[in-house]
Amino acid sequence: MPVFPVPSAPRLQGSRHRLTADRFWIMLIRSASDEGVRVKTQCLLIAVLVGALAISSATASTTTVSKSTVSCGGALSWKRAASLEGSVHTFAGRVAGAKFAASSSGSPTFLDVGHPYPNPNRLSLVIWIENRAAFGRPESKYRGKKICVRGRVSDYRGSPEIVLRRPAQIKVAP
């Protein structure tokens, strides 16, 4: 719930109290009944605050979306992934191997960038079955293509790995 500074009122002047949105409305109504002349000004203030909050929320969600999408500009080579475990980066490389392991636990789809499995010198991209439908048939769509991928690098049995949850994390490079 948003927190608003307390408007200056005689009973709270000089205090450092903070209000929730509910208390703000209650104080506003009380002060409006005490001072009927200020009602229009306070209603205008409320409209401005609500509008600012709506714009702030829209901007925050737009920023979040743009950070999760992939841009190939500034992408690192897939070879650097092993040294960047635990951090989020964008990598570029060619998908050398692709497999939908339907009978394996969790039915993962593997996209191997750089070198195909079992070569440990690769970047593995994993798409679990619960996210697979959003990607279409990734083993066909990306096989042999140069791609850019964004995500958190983890280590799986000595090879770097990124789990893909949204199609916005991967795109075919121009």
Q: Are residues 89 and 158 in the same domain?
A: yes
Taking the CA atoms of residue 27, residue 28, residue 32 and residue 37 in that order, the dihedral angle to the nearest 10 degrees is 130
Q: Are residues 136 and 116 in the same domain?
A: yes
Q: Are residues 42 and 14 in the same domain?
A: yes
Q: Are residues 82 and 129 in the same domain?
A: yes
- Residues 55 and 67: their CA atoms lie apart, in Å, by 18
Last residue of a domain, one of 68, 99, 114: 68
Q: What is the 8-class DSSP label of residue 75?
A: P
Q: Are residues 93 and 133 in the same domain?
A: yes
For the domain that residue 88 is a member of, what is the CATH number? 2.40.50.140
CA angle 97, 101, 107 (to 5 degrees): 130
Q: Answer whether 58's CB lies under 8 Å from 44's CB.
A: no
- pLDDT digits 0-9 by tens, 112-123: 999 999 999 999
Q: Are residues 62 and 104 in the same domain?
A: no
Q: Are residues 87 and 164 in the same domain?
A: yes
Q: Region 121-131: what's the mean pLDDT? A: 98
Q: Are residues 14 and 52 in the same domain?
A: yes
Q: Region 115-139: what's the mean pLDDT? A: 97
Last residue of a domain, one of 39, 68, 97: 68
Domain of 64, in residue numbers? 3-68
Q: Are residues 83 and 167 in the same domain?
A: yes
Q: Are residues 100 and 53 in the same domain?
A: no
Last residue of a domain, one of 29, 44, 68: 68
How many domains does one find in the chain? 2
Report residue 150's pLDDT band, with 50, 70 and 90 as the boundaries: very high
Q: Which residue has the higher pLDDT, 119 or 17?
A: 119
pTM of the model: 0.61
Q: Region 93-98: what's the mean pLDDT? A: 98
Q: Are residues 39 and 108 in the same domain?
A: no
Q: Are residues 10 and 34 in the same domain?
A: yes
Return the pLDDT at 70: 75
3-state secondary structure labels for all residues of 27-39: HHHHHHHHCHHHH
Report residue 166's pLDDT band, with 50, 70 and 90 as the boundaries: very high
